[in-house]
Structure 1
Amino acid sequence: MTKKPAVGQVNTRLGAIKEIHRYPIKSFGGEQLASSKIETYGLYGDRSHAFIDETKEGWDSFITAREIPAMLAYKVQLQDHADFEKGTAAASGFPEVTVTSPDNRELAWNGQLLAEIQTHTRTAISMRRYAPETPDLLGMDASSVLIVTDALLSKLEALWGKPLDARRFRANLIVALAGDAPDEESWIGKRLQLGSAELRVDEFCERCSMIALDPDTQERDMSLLKTVNQELKLHVGLYASVTKAGLVQVGDELFLLSDD
């Protein structure tokens, strides 16, 4: 149930959480959730596993679907995430992941999966599994949580002139925007409340060629990136960092908080 902002605090209702998505393995297909804990690094278990190019450092070291589009065809779930999110499972380590291959084989996070992904590139790659206590943002590219509104997706679909799958944008939260909500640009630098968590909106998400890939077929259509560049200056969605950990669920209202 949504926690209302404190009495006397100036706030603006922006809408409600429509969808929650988590991607336990960076650049693999993710899972849609009814609820999730939001930790200091983002959604619990989000980008907790990644493939790495050991010859590079920082963000550039992550192997993604830009290099291996076939990664998108692998679907991932945290095995017993419900117990972990309720706090009834062991606190150390993330749950194991279950990977479903494009031909419906069940795989684990092990050498077999590494060997299979390695067949798609000549670059020598390795696997990295983060711990919940990791002080950084796990396998995130920027801030902790990525937010996209349904209104912007509808606008972009009209501009592009083709059916638009929201999964192209790999948002953690899709917000059903209220009709009287202020422009998204005005959210930057402000705090948001959703469920029992709070976020700070940091910046627009500047899009790259990843959005050109169909999440089901991996076919590339660069006309979408061209439209996003020409019409939206590459800005689709907002990056936010976590200022207060908490629980969020579908249907929770989203408030823009004052600085009071």
Structure 2
Amino acid sequence: MLIGHIREIIRHPVKSFRGENVQRTRVMGYGLYGDRSHAFLDNKRPGKHLTITQFPEMVRYGATFTGEETLDKYPQVKVVTPEGRVLEWGDIELQKEIESKSKRKISLVEYSPINVPVGAIEEEHLHLVTDSSVEKLKELWDNNEVDYRRFRPNLLIELENKMPFVEESWFGKRLKIGNEVEIEVKRHCERCMIITVDPDSAERNATLLKTVVKKRENHFGVYASVIKTGEIKVGDEISLV
């Protein structure tokens, strides 16, 4: 049964930096190719990553892969700072800037293209959000404009039947994406303060999280695990298996 199409594919080469929209990519066993594959370790909290929770301005740093996806190594990651400086991942100037602004000592970690551990994204392999749910949340949030990027999904799904929160009826079911990929929808995504951070300005508005807590039991979006890997592209059909 056809449920919709991929409207946008978003991956985050650097954990907690702004994601990049891509027209096509591979779905690996861990999720989108290179998603959250580069990260900063917070030396104040051994074994933990530095994220938007500790340093909200991370959302204003853009990160993109600048070459072809290969399995032996990642393409170079280009970083654009809030001030417009263009740096590369691994540049000592980037590390110094993040340390100075966050007031924390950090170290860099980079995972393999064939194995980004689940711990790097903290939950399941993929995070899905639907267009109808985003639109409904606008109404629930006193008609404030809702930018889906606040929720940092991997796939924004354009539904055939515009039914808000229908994705919550997919738990335990499989979705086929395009000709190759299959995923299993697992559970709710429980939200945190990250959704309060504006993806452009990094300014916070706590009322969005309060709305999601009060009117959605703190649920928005769903997590899925990868069953069959392959390639996907914007416009691909998504069907309930």
Asked whether the two chains share a fold, i.e. TM above 0.5, the reply is yes
Where does residue 117 of structure 1 map in the other structure?
Answer: 98
1:104 maps to 2:84: yes
Does 2:154 match 1:167? no
Query: Which one of 39, 47, 60 corresponds to residue 73 of structure 1?
Result: 60
- Asked if 2 retains the 8 angstrom alpha-carbon contact of 1:47 and 1:138, the reply is no
Match status 1:156 vs 2:140 = no
Q: Which amino acid aligns with 1:68?
A: F
Q: In structure 2, the residue corresponding to 1:71 is in which secondary structure?
A: helix
How far off is 1:201 after superposition? 0.8
State the match for 1:46 in structure 2: 35
Question: Could you tell me how far 1:120 is from its partner in structure 2?
Answer: 2.2
1:175 aligned partner, one-letter code: I
**Are the structure 2 counterparts of residues 213 and 180 from structure 1 closer, same or farther at C-alpha, using a change threshold of 3 Å?**
closer
Distance in 2 between the 1:57 and 1:176 partners? Answer: 40
SS in 1 for 2:96: helix
TM-fit CA distance, 1:93: 1.7
Q: Distance in 2 between matches of 1:253 and 1:200?
A: 16
After the TM superposition, which parts of structure 1 deviate over 4 Å for at least 4 consecutive aligned residues? none
Corresponding residue number in structure 2 for 1:255: 239
Shift in CA distance, 150/56, structure 1 to aligned 2, threshold 3 Å: same
Q: TM-score, normalised by structure 1?
A: 0.87
Cα gap change, 1:159 to 1:135, in 2 (>3 Å):
closer
Tell me the secondary structure at the aligned position of residue 187 of structure 2. Answer: strand
Give the Cα–Cα distance (whole angstroms) in 2 for the partners of residues 219 and 55 of structure 1: 24
The residue aligned with 1:9 is: none
Q: Is the 8 A contact 2:43 2:104 kept in 1?
A: no
Name the counterpart of 1:228: 212
**Structure 1 CA distance, aligned partners of 2:72 and 2:118?**
17
Cα displacement string for residues 11-39 of structure 1 (whole angstroms, at most 9, x for unaligned residues): x2211111111110000011111111100
Mapped to 2, the partners of 1:153 and 1:170 lie a distance apart of: 12
Structure 1 distance, partners of 2:147, 2:168, is 23
Q: CA deviation at 1:219?
A: 0.7
| Post-superposition CA distance 1:117-162 (Å, at most 9, x none) | 0012333211111112336236211001100000000000111121
Contact preservation (8 Å) 2:34, 2:116: no
Give the drift of 1:62: 1.3
Indicate conservation of the 8 Å contact 2:24/2:232, yes or no: yes
Q: Structure 1 residue 180: deviation in Å?
A: 7.0
Mapped pair 1:64 → 2:51: yes
TM-score under structure 2 length normalisation: 0.93
Which of 15, 24, 30 aligns to 1:26? It is 15
Which letter does structure 2 place at the counterpart of 1:27? S
Q: Taking every aligned residue pair, what percent have the same amino acid on both sides?
A: 41
Q: Whole-Å Cα distance in 2 between the matches of residues 77 and 180 of structure 1?
A: 32
Q: Does 2:126 align with 1:141?
A: no
How far is the alpha carbon of 1:104 from its aligned partner? 1.1
**Structure 1 residue runs without a partner (length 5+):** 1-11
Asked which structure has the greater CA Rg, the reply is 1
| 248 and 215 in structure 1: CA distance in 2 versus 1, 3 angstrom threshold | same
Moved more, 157-166 or 173-182: 173-182
Q: Where do 5+ consecutive residues of structure 2 fail to align?
A: none
| Cα distance, 1:135–1:67 mapped onto 2, change above 3 Å | closer
- When the two chains are superposed, the root-mean-square deviation of aligned CA atoms in Å is 1.6
Return 113-122 or 190-199, whichever deviates more: 113-122
Q: Does 1:14 align with 2:12?
A: no
